[in-house]
Amino acid sequence: MLALALVPAALDLLKLVDASVSPWLSLPAAVASAAAAAVLVVMWLRFPRAAWLAAAAFAACASLAMRLAGADVAPALSLLSIFAIGIGGGFVSAELSPVDA
């Protein structure tokens, strides 16, 4: 579910690489951003002590708001949410966790 946060950033990258699809990706990027924000908020509500989830959810919600407002800072906020997930260890698998070592 955390990989869902990668989808808006991937669509933003596609818009940067191929300018011909840029007008067509605004709505899917907004929908993907809304889905990522919703999933991160639900996960944060399940684990309220995880500050990194709060930071990722806040950045994803801010990215969604900026996308709806048409601001150019929305892709940077999507990357910030991915950064918060990575710092918190959201992408670490259970087998490679340094806590178990």
Tens digit of each residue's pLDDT (9 = 90 or more) over 28-80: 999 999 999 999 999 999 999 889 899 999 999 999 999 999 899 999 999 99
pLDDT surpasses 80 at 91: no
97 within domain boundaries = no
55 within domain boundaries = yes
- Domain count of the fold of the chain: 1
pLDDT score of 36: 95
pLDDT score of 85: 87
pLDDT score of 67: 93
101 within domain boundaries = no
More confident position, 28 or 88: 28
Q: Which domain holds residue 33?
A: 2-89
95 within domain boundaries = no
Q: How many Å separate Cα 66 from the centre of its chain? A: 13
